[in-house]
Amino acid sequence: MSLTLAAEHDLTAANTLGLPCVAAHFAAPASLVELQAALSEARVHGWPLTLLGGGSNLILPERLPGLVLQPAMGDWWLEEGEGETVRVHAEAGVVWHELVMALAGLGLWGTENLALIPGRCGAAPIQNIGAYGVELCEVLEALQVVDLADGRAAWMTPEACAFAYRDSVFKGRLAGRVVITRLALRLTRSATLRLGYGDLAARVGETPTPLAVAEAVSAIRRDKLPDPARLGNAGSFFKNPLVKDEQAKRLLAEHPEMPHFRQPDGRVKLAAGWLIDRCGLKGLREGHFGVHDRQALVLVHFGGGSAGELLAFADRVATTVRERFGVTLEREPRLPGER
Ligand SMILES: Cc1cc2nc3c(=O)[nH]c(=O)nc-3n(C[C@H](O)[C@H](O)[C@H](O)COP(=O)(O)OP(=O)(O)OC[C@H]3O[C@@H](n4cnc5c(N)ncnc54)[C@H](O)[C@@H]3O)c2cc1C
């Protein structure tokens, strides 16, 4: 099998915001050998590299120079672990939600709360995906990376990945230096229910299975979030801000109904969507972009807009929140090459 390199490749349909983007060069390597061949090609030509998964957490510019690499290794398999545990190996190109549903269907617990998060396995560790009280790092046993500079493969432990809320070493020190090629996850055959978020418990019945939980999570998400296939979006556009206890107390004195979640480190996590909503911005539309009318944390693209316009719109939303509440919102989706 040989690697195909495409020139002037259109990525408009490859990002869930639907932003128009053309890659100067594009490759979707289907094996480690093909990936290493693509990296050599980039080195020979001096092309900058951009990594692309499902494009659900990226804000793409109109043109990407160099080589865009979308790992397409798409296998996953199981290995018996100790006791009730099962190790799952998943390559970078596996679609995350499809893996979650397949594992849930096999009666394996661990990833069911993370159903319907768009994207591919290779990108899941980048921001340590999380939903419904669970984060990827809780089931991740190890991951394989390939060094973009010399094409060498190595395994990393979760500790080395420095996982935190929507964060990891891949957004910091290792940003733009490695491609994640495989995940090793630890799931279990015995129930590990985490139903504390929202009305999940009410939806799954008396004796839930992993599949029932994954289906309930998917149903709730379908109700709440716009489908990128119909309306361009990147999910939550801002992280939930973490503020100091004093600031949370001041805000709660004024807004006792404000949702807030105390963290083990003493800080308090606020709901960015609630803050945006309280500024009266839910449903706001300006030009090609808007704040979703059911979920204020999601910015939507009605078509015809650019990355620059989106960033300017997001900035207006964040400025309004800062002026009203004194809270700074941090963007979640990233620009290519951003640290
Ligand atoms: C409707 C919707 C709902 C969402 N809900 C959630 C949610 O509940 N929780 C949550 O955490 N996220 C959520 N997201 C965000 C997004 O789905 C996740 O961040 C997902 O992991 C991104 O995967 P991707 O394959 O689309 O990555 P991309 O958007 O393609 O890439 C994201 C980043 O990872 C890098 N990258 C991609 N592949 C690799 C690789 N193999 N190796 C190294 N770097 C790589 C890219 O360069 C980029 O910096 C949501 C998004 C949408 C559109």
The residue whose CA has the least distance to atom 4 of ligand 1 is: 235
**HSE of 254 in the Cβ direction (CA atoms, 13 Å)?**
9
34 is catalytic: no
| Mean pLDDT, rounded, for 136-145 | 98
Position in ligand 1 atom list of the atom nearest CA 120: 25
**How far is the C-alpha of 171 from the C-alpha of 34, rounded, in Å?**
25
Span 156-176, pLDDT tens digits: 999 999 999 999 999 999 999
- The 10s digit of each residue's pLDDT in 177-201 is 999 999 999 999 998 888 887 788 8
Q: Which of 120, 166, 182, 331 is catalytic?
A: 166
Ligand 1 proximal residues by C-beta, below 6 Å: 16, 51-58, 71, 92, 117-120, 122-124, 126-127, 129-131, 179-180, 225, 228, 233-235, 334
Burial of 318 (0-12, 13-18, 19+ CB in 10 A): buried
DSSP run (H or E) holding 246: helix 245-254
Which residues fall within 8 angstroms of residue 13, CB to CB, at 6 or more apart? none
Q: What is the mean pLDDT of residues 285-310?
A: 97
Class of domain 6-69: alpha beta
Probe residue for ligand 1, chosen from 32, 51, 64, 135 as the CB with the greatest number of ligand atoms within 8 Å: 51
Name the band, by pLDDT with cuts 50, 70 and 90, for residue 1: low
286 is catalytic: no
What is the arithmetic mean of pLDDT over 240-246?
96
Atom 52 in ligand 1: residue holding the nearest Cα: 235
* pLDDT band for position 339 (cuts 50, 70, 90): confident
Share of the chain above pLDDT 70, in %: 100
Q: Is the pLDDT of residue 35 over 90?
A: yes
CATH topology of domain 232-325: 3.90.78
pLDDT, position 119: 98
* Mean pLDDT of the region 279-286: 97
Residues 13-31 have a mean pLDDT of 98
Q: Which fold has domain 76-224?
A: 3.30.465
Q: What is the pLDDT of residue 201?
A: 85
Residue 41 a catalytic site member: no
Give residue 119 CA to ligand 1 midpoint distance, Å.
5
The 10s digit of each residue's pLDDT in 72-108 is 999 999 998 888 999 999 999 999 999 999 999 999 9
What pLDDT score does 198 carry?
A: 73
Please state, rounded to an integer, the average pLDDT across all residues of the chain: 96
Nearest atom (ligand 1) to Cα of 124: 21
The answer to whether the beta carbons of residues 181 and 146 sit under 8 Å apart is: yes
Range(s) within the chain of domains with CATH label 3.30.465.10 = 76-224
